[in-house]
């Protein structure tokens, strides 16, 4: 995907920005809002993002490559350790780190823990992004901005709302200013370097996360067995596996007489069809991979 198109403007800037923060502070929603296309799945469930996903933002003054990462947390499983490792390796290679903190929640131990971790990346410039300002009162936002300003010397502190499109243009401009002067790193039509199968498996997982509770979201993983483009019809057949860790979870996902799995399939198809530009036949098989989050071999098979 990375191109070598020349740029005539000597002030053009391009580089990599990673958003970090506790799980569910709006990092993926922000990435999608800036890219202008859904490149990362979103959910109210913690640990929705499981790998570094790149989204490309194109502006006349520069090109932002956003690297959406899993939420930083104290891990309880081998999967959690590997997700943290993804974050650590990503942050070592980016030009700017955007620390996302929601406006509607006071600074907590998790935020302070992440702020301390940022000291390990002296090569990256640090920006504080106060998300979800539309969900908090003006005095609460002001109080949060003051609290965040006391954490460290930031290059900038920017309050935004991804869902209401508040101050996203200001955030983009500020991030581009912090990037090195560079030619474009991606072609003008690039939005992500995620492969089609990866994006489809993530959309299926996003659909499965809807409405589930407790520990089940962590236990869901999706793989694609096969994708077949039919010659006789404008149709793509997709055969997927949805893994959980226990038989009881399999029953929850399938639901009574398969009703819940049918809903998952319908939601997933609605997201996949615009992506592939064709009608989709989707087959999802629910399988049990016992305690896969703690099993190195099974994590490897599932792509972690």
Q: Is 177 annotated as a binding residue?
A: no
Q: Is 60 annotated as a binding residue?
A: no
Number of residues that make up the chain: 304
Q: Is 1 annotated as a binding residue?
A: no
Q: Is 187 annotated as a binding residue?
A: no
Backbone angles phi and psi of 206, in degrees to 5: -60, -45
CA-to-CA distance for 187 and 63, rounded, in angstroms? 10
- Nearest-CA neighbor of 56 among 165, 155, 189, 223? 189
Q: Is 55 annotated as a binding residue?
A: no
Q: Is 27 annotated as a binding residue?
A: yes
Residue 91 near residue 121 (C-beta atoms within 8 A):
yes
Q: Is 104 annotated as a binding residue?
A: no
Q: Is 227 annotated as a binding residue?
A: no
- How many helices and strands in the chain, by DSSP H and E? 10, 9
CA-to-CA distance for 282 and 237, rounded, in angstroms? 6
DSSP per residue, 99-160 = EEEETTS---HHHHHHHHHGGG-TTSEEEEEEE-GGGS-HHHHHHHHHHHHTTS--SEEEE-
Q: Is 159 annotated as a binding residue?
A: no
Q: Is 265 annotated as a binding residue?
A: no
Q: Is 102 annotated as a binding residue?
A: no
Please give the annotated binding residues, written as ranges: 21-28, 68-72, 131-134
Please give the annotated binding residues for GTP, written as ranges: 21-28, 68-72, 131-134
């Amino acid at each position: 995907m990375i191109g070598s198109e020349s740029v005539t403007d000597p002030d053009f800037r391009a580089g990599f920005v990673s958003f970090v923060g506790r799980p569910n502070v709006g990092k993926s929603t922000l990435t999608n809002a800036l890219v202008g296309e859904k490149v990362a799945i979103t959910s109210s469930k913690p640990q929705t993002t499981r790998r570094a996903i790149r989204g490309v933002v194109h502006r006349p003054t520069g090109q932002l490559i956003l690297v959406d990462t899993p939420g930083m947390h104290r891990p309880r499983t081998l999967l959690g350790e590997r997700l943290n490792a993804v974050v650590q390796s990503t942050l070592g290679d980016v030009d700017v780190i955007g620390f996302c903190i929601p406006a509607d929640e006071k600074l907590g131990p998790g935020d302070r823990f992440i702020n301390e971790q940022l000291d390990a990346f002296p090569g990256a410039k640090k920006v504080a992004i106060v998300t979800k300002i539309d969900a908090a009162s003006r005095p609460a936002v002001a109080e949060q901005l003051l609290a965040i300003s006391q954490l460290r010397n930031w290059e900038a502190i920017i309050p935004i709302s991804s869902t209401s499109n508040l101050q996203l243009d200001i955030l983009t401009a500020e991030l581009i200013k912090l990037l090195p002067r560079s030619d474009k790193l991606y072609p003008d039509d690039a939005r992500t370097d995620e492969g089609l199968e990866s994006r489809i498996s993530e959309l299926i997982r996003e659909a499965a996360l809807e409405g589930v509770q407790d520990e089940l979201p962590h236990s869901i993983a999706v793989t694609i067995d096969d994708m077949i483009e039919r010659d006789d019809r404008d149709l793509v057949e997709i055969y997927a596996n949805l893994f959980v860790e226990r038989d009881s979870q399999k029953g929850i996902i399938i639901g009574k007489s398969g009703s819940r799995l049918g809903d998952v399939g319908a939601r997933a198809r609605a997201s996949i069809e615009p992506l592939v530009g064709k009608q989709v036949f989707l087959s999802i098989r629910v399988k049990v991979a016992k305690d896969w989050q703690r099993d190195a071999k099974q994590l490897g098979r599932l792509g972690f």
